[in-house]
Amino acid sequence: MAKYIMALDQGTTSSRCILFDKAGNICSMAQREFEQIYPKPGWVEHNPMEIWSTQYAVMSEAMALVGAKPKDIAGIGITNQRETTIVWDKETGEPVYNAIVWQCRRTAKDINLLVKDGYADVIKAKTGLVPDAYFSATKIAWILSNVAGARKKAEEGRLLFGTVDTWLIWKLTGGAVHVTDYTNASRTMLFDIHNRCWDKELLEKFNIPEVMLPIVKPSSCIYGYTDPSVLAGNIAIAGAAGDQQAALFGQCCFEPGEVKNTYGTGCFLLMNTGDKPVESKHGLITTIAAGSDDQLHYALEGSVFTGGAIVQWLRDEMRLIRSSSQSEDYARMVNDTNGVYIVPAFSGMGAPYWNPYARGCVVGLSRGANKEHFIRASLESIAYQTYDVLKAMESDTGHIVKELKVDGGASANDFLMEFQADILGAKIRRPKCIETTALGAAYLAGLAVGFFKDLNEIRDNWQLVSTFESSMAPSDRDNLLAGWRRAVKCAISYTDE
């Protein structure tokens, strides 16, 4: 009997592999960061071959840590940074350009033209998305228009497109399988989420040949098997979901109205809305949720582009801290931010603002502001952005959120979780395993191969470890939020011209 489910968690800044047992416990984990490439301001790229090499390395490492052989792995689930776009040569397997990352704003002007042409409503009606450079469609179009010979090759059927899940499955199967799942397809701005198909009108609008696109399947099914040259065995690749939908599944938010927030590079708040899509009137997007069968559930989502990434910025660019965990220690050294607000709009602002031109700013500085205030303000900015998204979600659904399940690396920061509870006036519930993105992928794969019996067995694995409750006076909360709103106006107005 196989002992483990393998989860490949290919994120924006690192590739990880985690082996889980039937109780949802982490048995081994390996992680490697990879290079972030910034060719121009607002542009973000990755090397697809480095994505693959780091992911392959951590697979081997995680297995070696527990002495696992291919026969010990029941199946592989993949979760990935969404929207990030890779185009590669079908014959050589070589990417024709770097991966264009979801954060990249290079096609913002193309989106503006679409909106000016009155096409925003068409896109939203078909895909559930707000037109934005965030999604894959304009990234694919940019590659086809800017890489020499790419369009001709694409039209001849010699190029393939994929989000990161597709790229990894193609590599794992030795180029035998070109596939994606509903959740990742729903993030391309090319997929009709109601009819579950690539939309021919949108493909024509963006001038993208359909022959480039992968087959779309449910999030939990056997897509193929690893080529023996990869892991010296045939392991079923049986689950795939975009990272945030995987986290929603890993948090056992199987019922309508259940909500989670993942504090990763960005922050992503999702609410399960059941089998009917909810159209947002407040800047959120409608997307497909990961499911264990062919019966779709939908989700309402708000995306914060810069969440935990601001802590990496404090560490790597500003060099104010040596490790991410130090941010909590410094934040607790002061009672407040001394009036300082930081709006980390490094890649524009996502929900509910959707302003690709906004840029990061610091406001409220006085002579008394110090390093500790700056670090505390950085952490508080994550909670404020989450507040904005959650209030938009409540307005769209009429459902008042009284508790929020949290996960992701930054959710381990107790200061941030305490402040999040204060600013929301709601309970924050943190599970024992905060690696719920990878856990969701493991569950999806495990269900497909029979490693897990059903949703009830998975639900029984969820264990609460910490609850944070609000202790802030409503008047203090209102004053802080008023300052945050003024700061956001500064970030947006900075680039008005």
- Give the start-end residues of each E strand in 275-346: 285-289, 297-304, 341-343
244 is in an annotated binding site: yes
82 is in an annotated binding site: yes
12 is in an annotated binding site: yes
Cβ contacts of 197 within 8 Å, gap of 6 or more: 191, 216
- Answer yes or no: are the C-beta atoms of 258 and 187 closer than 8 Å: no
13 is in an annotated binding site: yes
Q: Give the tokens for residue 346.
A: 């490094």
315 is in an annotated binding site: no
Location of structure tokens 């939203």: 124
**DSSP assignments along 160-199, one per residue:** EEE-HHHHHHHHHTTT---EEEHHHHTTTT-EETTTTEE-
CA gyration radius for the chain? 22
Element (H, E) at 13: none
Identify the CA nearest to 458 among candidates 185, 179, 239, 172: 239
Cβ contacts of 485 within 8 Å, gap of 6 or more: none
Q: Give the tokens for residue 5.
A: 């489910």
Q: Give the tokens for residue 124.
A: 């939203």
Cβ contacts of 250 within 8 Å, gap of 6 or more: 407, 435, 436, 437, 438, 439, 440, 441, 442, 443
Identify the CA nearest to 171 among candidates 266, 55, 310: 55
Cα distance from N-terminal residue to C-terminal residue, the chain: 64
50 is in an annotated binding site: no
- Answer yes or no: are the C-beta atoms of 449 and 22 closer than 8 Å: no
180 residue type, one letter: T
134 is in an annotated binding site: yes
3-class secondary-structure state, position 51: helix
Q: Compute the distance between CA of residue 416 and CA of residue 383 in angstroms, rounded to an integer.
A: 7
Location of structure tokens 């969404």: 82
443 is in an annotated binding site: no
- Answer yes or no: are the C-beta atoms of 33 and 47 closer than 8 Å: no
98 is in an annotated binding site: no
- Answer yes or no: are the C-beta atoms of 311 and 410 closer than 8 Å: yes
243 is in an annotated binding site: yes
3-class secondary-structure state, position 467: strand
Binding positions: 12-14, 16, 82-83, 134, 243-244, 265, 308, 312, 409, 413
Binding positions for ATP: 12-14, 265, 308, 312, 409
Binding positions for ADP: 12, 16, 265, 308, 409, 413
Binding positions for sn-glycerol 3-phosphate: 12, 82-83, 134, 243
Binding positions for glycerol: 82-83, 134, 243-244
